[in-house]
Amino acid sequence: MDFIQAILLGLIQGLTEFLPISSSAHLRIASELMGIGDAGAAFTAITQIGTELAVVVFFWKDIVRIIGRWFRSLTGAIPRKDPDALMGWWIILGSVPIVVLGLLFQDHIESTFRSLWVVAVTLIVFGLLLGLADWLGKRVHTLDRLTWKHGLIYGFAQALALIPGVSRSGGTITAGLLMGYKREAAARYSFLLAIPAVLGSGFYELSKALKAPAVTPMGETVVATIVAFVVALVVIGVFMRYISSHSFLPFVVYRVLLGIVVMVLLSTGVLSAGGEAPATAASGNAATTGVQR
């Protein structure tokens, strides 16, 4: 990967992270088309630090208010059923599934799940689910109706995004729509819920990458992360305004068409599926870098 390719991948990450079209799928496809193979789960997780910092900046007032009132509810300064205090608890609860499942399936996340055949299928299937949810959802609830059960359902929906092609925002927004939440409410909670999990995963992968810089090129990764931050900051605002009065149909159509195109390119040999088994990947890394994994 050179710096031009890193900038392009950062641009793609920033453009697609908050749209329900799966940024990890786009990075996976784009890096393959660029001829650099799979940019890797570590590269994806680290660049997501940039996009998630954009969320922190965009929702700064909300985040500060939620954290402040959550702490005050612990001391009894405000009622424990305060909506913002409860939001803090639901975000904590909703973050548990992705942490547990991420640890349990780490090897598959870094290998098998990254097969472009898996990406293509999930793009289509979860795109259709998003369209169905947008069509059938009542879209009447706001976030003050959020309960611990809904928070947990949101959390499991977010955990599905461990598979490239599902889309973190797409999965959680789909769950929110099926539970009757308005589009803006589902998207807002999706973005807030992602902060602990994405930053945690990103900094965890960053710590590993710093110990093995030959596997993840740090200079290029940092550049991609900065680009992703700047672009994502613009995309969040545009997306939130868009969904306040428009359906998700364009994203559904795009996902299905992209999934079909990827399948065609795989069938004709233009793209390589990748997603080798963990043991193979580990032996390959050891052979090429001389580092015991």
3-state secondary structure the chain: CCHHHHHHHHHHHHHHCCCCCCHHHHHHHHHHHCCCCCCCHHHHHHHHHHHHHHHHHHCHHHHHHHHHHHHHHHHCCCCCCCHHHHHHHHHHHHHHHHHHHHHHCHHHHCCHHHCHHHHHHHHHHHHHHHHHHHHHCCCCECHHHCCHHHHHHHHHHHHHHHCCCCCHHHHHHHHHHHCCECHHHHHHHHHHHHHHHHHHHHHHHHHHHHHCCCCCCHHHHHHHHHHHHHHHHHHHHHHHHHHCCCCCHHHHHHHHHHHHHHHHHHHCCCCCCCCCCHHHHHHHHHHHHCCCC
Distance CA 142, CA 135 (A): 18
Measured between alpha carbons, how far is 122 from 111 in angstroms, rounded to an integer?
16
pLDDT in tens, 129-159: 999 999 999 899 999 889 999 999 999 999 9
The one-digit pLDDT tens for each residue of the chain (293 residues) are 788 999 999 999 999 999 999 988 898 888 888 888 777 778 888 899 999 999 999 999 999 999 999 999 999 889 988 999 999 999 999 999 998 998 888 777 777 777 889 999 999 999 999 999 999 998 999 998 899 999 999 999 999 988 888 999 999 999 999 999 999 999 999 999 999 988 988 898 888 888 776 667 788 889 999 999 999 999 999 999 999 889 999 999 999 999 999 999 999 988 887 765 544 333 333 333 333 33
For residue 7, the enclosing domain spans: 3-289
Residue count of the chain, please give it: 293
Residue 62 is predicted with a pLDDT of: 94
Amino acid, res. 86: L
Domain count, the chain: 1
pLDDT at 218: 82
Q: What is the pLDDT of residue 40?
A: 73
- Integer Cα distance of 18 and 217 in angstroms: 25
